[in-house]
Structure 1
Amino acid sequence: MEAAAAVIAERGFESATMAEIATRAGAQIGSLYRFFPNKEVLADALMQRHRELVDGAFGKIESRAMSVSAHDLADALVDLLVELHPESRAMVALLDARSEWSAKPAEFRNAAIGHIARIVMLRAPHLRPETARDVAVVLLHNMKTMKALTLEQGLATSAGAPAELREMNRLYLASKLLNPTHKSKG
């Protein structure tokens, strides 16, 4: 599994081969096929492993959602994929892959959006569920962007870009968490 995650993270799902994964694992190709009859089954197993990691990380954020500031909550969300690195490298590669091979990437994406929407709803019960889901989609994209800005090699960016994304995420989430009846007029 670790070898598969490394190869997929480096080469992408489409370019990764079972032979390369077996070589990286120091295993015979037949042994790999005995456990995973094809690359898609192996990718599904990786997605399941990543989902368990991400579910646990979201659970920790959810358990603290009511006791932290909006800024700290925004930071926790935007940093989640960075904190799960290197596991998140393979996950992002699988999520970005063509999805004809499995429904797992869509299920994973929907679960992440569901987690974020629940966290948002805990702090902003005045929001409509559809709005919380829309906010979750934006936050998920910001999470992926933070990962790219802070961990990916060769990305043309400035050193200050992650700080700017963090501030943008804080302001965005804080504005969504405000109850409209408590907004100041002005």
Structure 2
Amino acid sequence: MSSNKSRPNRQRSALEPQRRRGKDRVAALMEAAAGVIAERGFESATMAEIAARAGAQIGSLYRFFPNKEALADALIYRYGEIVREAFEKIEARASALSVHDLADALLNVLFELHGESQTMVALLEARSEWSVKRNEFRRAAVQYIARILTLRAPHLRPDTVEDVAVVLLHTMKTLKALTIQQGVAINTGAPAELREMTRLYLASKFGEK
């Protein structure tokens, strides 16, 4: 018969700190975890290594995150919040942006979140139950972009808005792939050409020069 000693620990969720000091400590632990997981993968990353990267005692890590799965869940949730905040910043000024600036703002989202994205790739590929989050993130991104497009060009039909949002999301991914390869920034003319194509594409859809 297998032991049940570890099961309750796996079922516990992360502890939500109430004080500023605790929140700062959790933020540092999660930042360290994101770095270790991005470099080594989820299965190879250890709680001891994560604690050491954060300059914390292992007991402090286990206090807030009873196991590595709870830590991964927290990182996945944090990524969703970071993406949401990035799009909401654009949404807040969408109606005042030129086509040129709107195209660049959208194209920059995934590029600027590259570090976080590396961690997410490592996590979502590690467990089948987490892989479903990939589609959730994609659907959420399309919805954010569609909302921004509607604010900037309210005359567009809803079905057109969704189609354009899908095209833009794939273009954002392509730009990141052209700009960064295996975590290293590269310098070619292709990203600049893709940016110009996106500006012209949006201008044509908005009916603007």
Which TM-score tier does this pair reach, normalised by the shorter chain?
A: 0.7 to 0.9
Matches for 1:67-82 after TM superposition, within 5 Å: 67-82=96-111
Structure 1 counterpart of 2:160, from 125, 128, 131: 131
- Residues 40 and 101, structure 1, Cα contact 8 Å, conserved in 2: no
Change (3 A) 1:127 1:39: farther
In structure 2, list runs of 5 or more residues that go unmatched.
1-29
Structure 2 counterpart of 1:118, from 131, 144, 147: 147
Whole-angstrom CA distance in 1 between matches of 2:128 and 2:167: 21
Whole-angstrom CA distance in 2 between matches of 1:134 and 1:94: 29
Q: TM-score, normalised by structure 2?
A: 0.68
Matched residues, percent identical?
Answer: 73
Whole-angstrom CA distance in 2 between matches of 1:65 and 1:12: 37
What is the alpha-carbon root mean square deviation over aligned residues? Answer: 3.2
Matches for 1:1-186 after TM superposition, within 5 Å: 1-13=30-42, 15-27=44-56, 29=58, 31-94=60-123, 99-101=128-130, 104-153=133-182, 159-178=188-207
Paired residue total:
180
Q: Identify the range of structure 1 (4-13 vs 17-26) with the bigger mean alpha-carbon deviation.
A: 17-26
Change (3 A) 1:67 1:96: farther
* Greater relative CO (CA pairs within 8 A, separation 6+): 1
- Residues 125 and 131, structure 2, Cα contact 8 Å, conserved in 1: no
Whole-angstrom CA distance in 1 between matches of 2:195 and 2:125: 23
Whole-angstrom CA distance in 2 between matches of 1:147 and 1:154: 10
In structure 1, list runs of 5 or more residues that go unmatched.
none
Whole-angstrom CA distance in 2 between matches of 1:17 and 1:52: 25
- Residues 123 and 130, structure 2, Cα contact 8 Å, conserved in 1: no
